[in-house]
């Protein structure tokens, strides 16, 4: 590993003196920073900038550079509505030139380590691979693995279906897949990993893709994408089974609204001359809104709904971990809830139909004796929006493919709830970041989770010596690993009564549509 000494001003502040380390990519040499046993490369480009004529196009090949390119600064986020992620002291910079990734590795060009690629959450509209919660230092050092986080196009810049709307600015093929440009960015990032992993001490034949929330949904969608076949070998889907794949006619209707709002109906070139701010403002004025653009079932990039692909056995067949947290909707709960107000909340917030209301109340009160009305609402929202989908995805995977699937359920509460995204700090071994204060108990849980994810990336099986046996998910046992307080444990079909309830509701809904 070529290493040169470089203070980077650390020595003047009494901090550890770092070293710089170079890696040679297919496009040129990059300079990273070595500190505390890990080398990090920040802001490495994996495709040409998606600006100018490349806006809305599939990712284009990266041009090579001469000399050494510094990879010392976290890259800007892709354009998105203004937001402040947990742990950021201020708004993070945004730029349309955003197809970059970050790499953490224990050593450059000195081994064939498992590669763990993380796709950030935030739906398809917000987020960044550079959020502090996703820092791969501890994961890379602990597991002797290479960690990669990826930025990709979001919102209308990544998912605007311009089929028939782009004039001559896009070819017919480019326009027909423009609604999946953001997903194709992820494929380009995985192709970069395939072509460059060895230069960073990684194994291109052992790549695990991971993601939470929108990132988990992106992982599930990649399972159904032929262009991603062979680029990854395992997958984890964390709180991301609610797959938003838009039918082309609906996606095109949303694009027409945005085109009209930009004044581009008679002049498609306006789509390229408009500023990013104008495009985001136009997006907010459409029925899709700021958060509504998502991958498109275009028949080419995504030929089938990911759930259908799993059931039919046409999905990319790799081992999978899937699961969610106990209180996924904790951030949307009221401060208090009286017993007499619970039915109305179940109707309005959870969308429980009147003819299912008594069944829901009876089942949840029996399944959770002593639960407060707020607890019941939280459990219903989680089961309806996340857990039922996770179980359905696991069942489809178990029945439709040859490789195993493991299911988990995260129940460790912080401030009374095991909320959306709470597991990330544990599986990254990043306690102390994003509102998860460290403690001995929490570190034990982080050890169990982090080592399970590392074992899965290394061997395709999450079992390790510090964890109770975790069998694959197979109906009817439906074994699920409960990550919570005390020792984690594998439980057969936990909360079977509520699972069966939502199966009954789903059957009734399908019958009502006939």
98 neighbors 77 (Cβ within 8 angstroms): yes
Is residue 497 one of the residues assigned to a domain?
A: yes
- What pLDDT does 237 receive? 97
For residues 1 and 22, give the distance between their C-alpha atoms in angstroms, rounded to a whole number. Answer: 8
Q: How many domains does the chain have?
A: 2
Q: Are 292 and 426 in the same domain?
A: no
Which residues constitute the domain of residue 462?
321-512
Report the pLDDT averaged over residues 446-454: 98
Is residue 15 one of the residues assigned to a domain?
A: no
Which tokens is 415 given? 């401030």
Q: Are 279 and 328 in the same domain?
A: no
Q: How far apart are the first and last CA of the chain?
A: 64
Q: Are 162 and 279 in the same domain?
A: yes
Is residue 339 one of the residues assigned to a domain?
A: yes
Q: Are 331 and 453 in the same domain?
A: yes
In Å, how far are 342, 494, 499 from 367, measured between CA atoms?
16, 10, 11
Whether 514 shows a pLDDT value over 90: the answer reads no
Q: Using DSSP bridges, classify how beta strands 3-5 and 19-24 pair: parallel, antiparallel or unpaired.
A: antiparallel
Neighbours of 191 (CB within 10 A): 17
Is residue 313 one of the residues assigned to a domain?
A: no
Q: How many CA atoms lie within 13 A of 19 on its CB side?
A: 15
Q: Are 280 and 175 in the same domain?
A: yes
- Residue 287 is a catalytic residue: no
Eight-class DSSP state of 198: G
Report the pLDDT averaged over residues 416-434: 93
Q: Are 300 and 154 in the same domain?
A: yes
Q: Are 123 and 55 in the same domain?
A: yes
Last-in-domain residue among 282, 306, 330: 306
Is residue 164 one of the residues assigned to a domain?
A: yes
Is residue 312 one of the residues assigned to a domain?
A: no
Which tokens is 112 given? 């064939």
Residue 259 is part of a domain; what is its CATH number?
A: 3.40.50.1820
CA 226 to chain centre: 19
Residues 6+ apart with CB under 8 A from 416: none
> Which listed residue (20, 178, 213, 239) is catalytic?
213
Q: Which helix (H) or strand (E) holds 208?
A: strand 202-212
Q: Are 333 and 283 in the same domain?
A: no
Report the pLDDT averaged over residues 256-270: 95
- Residue 488 is a catalytic residue: no
Q: What is the tens place of the pLDDT at every residue in 469-479?
A: 999 999 999 99
- What pLDDT does 242 receive? 63
Report the pLDDT averaged over residues 316-336: 93
> Which listed residue (100, 161, 420, 464) is catalytic?
420
Q: Are 263 and 388 in the same domain?
A: no
Last-in-domain residue among 250, 276, 306: 306
The whole-chain average pLDDT of the chain stands at: 92
Buried-state track 444-465, b at ≥16 Cβ within 10 A, e below 16: ebbbbbbbbbbbbbbebebbbe
**3 state SS of 446:** helix
Is residue 5 one of the residues assigned to a domain?
A: no
Tell whether omega for the bond before 476 is within 30 degrees of 0, i.e. cis.
yes
- Residue 277 is a catalytic residue: no
Whether 354 shows a pLDDT value over 80: the answer reads yes
For residues 437 and 425, give the distance between their C-alpha atoms in angstroms, rounded to a whole number. Answer: 10
Q: Which residue has the tokens 């999905």?
A: 315
Whether 90 shows a pLDDT value over 60: the answer reads no
Last-in-domain residue among 306, 335, 356: 306
Is residue 490 one of the residues assigned to a domain?
A: yes
pTM as predicted: 0.93
At 262, is the pLDDT very low, low, confident or very high (cuts 50, 70, 90)?
very high
Report the pLDDT averaged over residues 212-239: 96
> Which listed residue (33, 96, 212, 328) is catalytic?
328
Whether 16 shows a pLDDT value over 90: the answer reads no
Q: What is the tens place of the pLDDT at every residue in 157-196?
A: 999 999 999 999 999 999 999 999 999 999 999 999 999 9
At 82, is the pLDDT very low, low, confident or very high (cuts 50, 70, 90)?
confident
Q: What is the tens place of the pLDDT at every residue in 270-310?
A: 999 999 999 999 999 888 776 779 999 999 999 998 888 88
Whether 92 shows a pLDDT value over 90: the answer reads no
Beta strands per DSSP E along 46-190: 68-70, 100-105, 113-119, 146-150
Q: Are 331 and 295 in the same domain?
A: no
Whether 240 shows a pLDDT value over 70: the answer reads yes
For residues 49 and 99, give the distance between their C-alpha atoms in angstroms, rounded to a whole number. Answer: 6
Q: Are 258 and 364 in the same domain?
A: no
Q: Are 131 and 215 in the same domain?
A: yes
């Amino acid at each position: 590993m070529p290493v040169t000494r470089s203070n980077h001003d650390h020595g003047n502040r009494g901090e550890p003196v770092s070293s710089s380390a170079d890696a040679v990519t297919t496009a040129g040499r990059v300079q990273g920073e070595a500190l505390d046993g890990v080398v990090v490369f920040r802001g490495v480009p994996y495709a040409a900038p998606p600006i100018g004529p490349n806006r809305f196009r599939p990712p284009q090949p990266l041009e090579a550079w001469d000399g050494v390119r510094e990879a010392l600064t976290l890259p800007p986020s892709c354009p998105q509505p203004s937001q402040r992620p947990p742990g950021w002291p201020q708004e993070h910079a945004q730029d349309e030139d955003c197809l970059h990734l970050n790499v953490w590795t224990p050593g450059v060009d000195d081994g064939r380590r498992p590669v763990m690629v993380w796709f950030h959450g935030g739906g398809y509209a917000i987020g960044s691979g550079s959020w502090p919660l996703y820092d791969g230092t501890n994961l890379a050092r602990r597991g002797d693995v290479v960690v990669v986080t990826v930025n990709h196009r979001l919102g209308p810049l990544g998912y605007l279906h311009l089929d028939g709307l782009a004039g001559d600015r896009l070819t017919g093929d480019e326009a027909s897949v423009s609604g999946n440009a953001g997903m194709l960015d992820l494929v380009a990032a995985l192709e970069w990993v395939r072509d460059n992993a060895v230069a960073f001490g990684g194994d291109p034949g052992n790549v695990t893709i991971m993601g939470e929330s929108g990132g988990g949904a992106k992982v599930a969608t990649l399972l159904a994408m032929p262009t991603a076949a062979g680029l990854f070998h395992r997958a984890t889907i964390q709180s991301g089974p609610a797959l938003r794949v838009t039918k082309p006619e609906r996606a095109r209707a949303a694009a027409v609204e945005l085109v009209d709002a930009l004044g581009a109906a008679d002049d498609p070139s306006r789509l390229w001359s408009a500023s990013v701010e104008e495009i985001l403002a136009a997006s907010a004025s459409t029925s899709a809104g700021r958060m509504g653009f998502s991958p498109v079932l275009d028949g080419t990039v995504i030929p089938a709904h990911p759930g259908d692909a799993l059931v039919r056995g046409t999905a990319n067949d790799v081992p999978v971990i899937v699961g969610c947290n106990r209180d996924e909707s904790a951030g949307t709960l009221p401060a208090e809830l009286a017993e007499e107000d619970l039915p109305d909340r179940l109707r309005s917030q959870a969308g429980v139909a009147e003819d299912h209301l008594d069944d829901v109340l009876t089942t949840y009160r029996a399944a959770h004796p002593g639960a407060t009305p707020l607890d019941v609402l939280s459990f219903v929202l989680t089961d309806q929006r996340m857990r039922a989908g996770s179980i359905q995805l696991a069942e489809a995977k178990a029945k439709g493919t040859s490789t195993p699937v493991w299911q988990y359920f995260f129940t460790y509460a912080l401030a009374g709830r095991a909320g959306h995204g709470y597991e990330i700090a544990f599986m990254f071994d990043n306690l102390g970041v994003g509102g998860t204060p460290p403690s001995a108990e929490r570190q034990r849980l982080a050890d169990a989770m982090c080592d399970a994810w590392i074992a899965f990336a290394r061997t395709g099986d999450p079992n390790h010596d510090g964890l109770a046996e975790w069998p694959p998910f197979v109906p009817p046992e439906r074994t699920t690993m409960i990550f919570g307080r005390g020792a984690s444990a594998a439980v057969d079909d936990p909360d079977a009564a509520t699972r069966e309830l939502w199966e009954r509701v789903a059957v009734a809904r399908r019958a009502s549509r006939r």
